[in-house]
Structure 1
Amino acid sequence: MPTAVPDTRTRILDLAEQLLLTRGFNAFSYQHIARELGVKPAAIHYHYPTKEDLGTAIIGRQRRRLGKWRGLPRLTELSPVAQLDALLEVYLTHLRQEQRVCLFGSLAADFRTLPEPMQRELRLFNRELTAWLAEVLTAGRTAGALVFRGEPVAKAAQVLTTLAGALQVARVHDEHQFYLIFDQLRSELLPE
Structure 2
Amino acid sequence: MSTAAPATAFDTRTRILNLAEELLLARGFNAFSYQHIAKELGVKPAAIHYHYPSKEELGAAIIQRQQRRLRKWRDLPRVTELTPPQQLEALLDVYRHRAARGPQVCLFGALAADFLTLPAVMQQELRTFSGELTHWLAGVLAAGRADGSLRFIGHPFSKAAQVLTTLVGSLQVARVHGEEQFHYILRQLRTELLPPSAA
Q: TM exceeds 0.5?
A: yes
Q: Work out the CA distance in 2 between the residues paired with 1:115 and 1:165.
A: 23
1:112 corresponding residue in structure 2: 116
Query: What is the match of residue 56 of structure 1?
Result: 60
CA distance in 2, matches of 1:83, 1:68: 14
Write out per-residue CA displacement over residues 94-131 of structure 1, whole angstroms, 9 at most, x where no aligned residue.
11112310000000010000000000000000000000
Give me the whole-angstrom Cα distance separating, in 1, the residues matched to 2:39 and 2:82.
Answer: 43
Q: How does 1:106-145 map to 2 (within 5 A)?
A: 106-145=110-149
Q: Which consecutive residues of structure 2, in runs of 5 or more, have no partner in the other structure?
A: 1-6
Other-structure match for 1:96: 100
Greater Rg, structure 1 or structure 2?
A: 2
Query: Does 1:29 pair with 2:24?
Result: no
Give 1:84's aligned amino acid: L
Moved over 4 A (4+): none
Determine if the alignment matches structure 1 residue 167 to structure 2 residue 171.
yes
Residue type at the aligned position of 2:172: Q
Q: How far apart, CA to CA, are the structure 1 residues paired with 2:190 and 2:116?
A: 32
Q: How far, CA to CA, are the matches of 2:100 and 2:35 in structure 1? A: 27
What is the CA–CA distance in structure 1 between the aligned matches of 2:184 and 2:97, rounded to whole Å? 16
Distance in 1 (CA, whole Å) between partners of 2:190 and 2:20 is 32
Distance 2:187 2:26 in 1: 24
Q: Partners in 2 of 1:97 and 1:29 — Cα distance?
A: 23
Q: Which structure 1 residue ranges, 5 or more long, are not aligned?
A: none
Percent identity of paired positions between Structure 1 and Structure 2? 70
Q: TM-score, structure 1 length as denominator?
A: 0.96
Give, as a single letter, the amino acid of the residue that structure 2 aligns with 1:166.
Answer: S
The CA RMSD measured in Å over matched residues stands at 1.1
Please give the alpha-carbon distance, in whole angstroms, between the structure 2 residues aligned to 1:36 and 1:96: 23
Q: Classify the secondary structure of the residue corresponding to 1:124.
A: helix
1:140 Cα shift? 0.6
Would the aligned equivalents of 2:102 and 2:175 in 1 still touch at CA under 8 Å? no
Q: TM-score normalized by structure 2?
A: 0.93
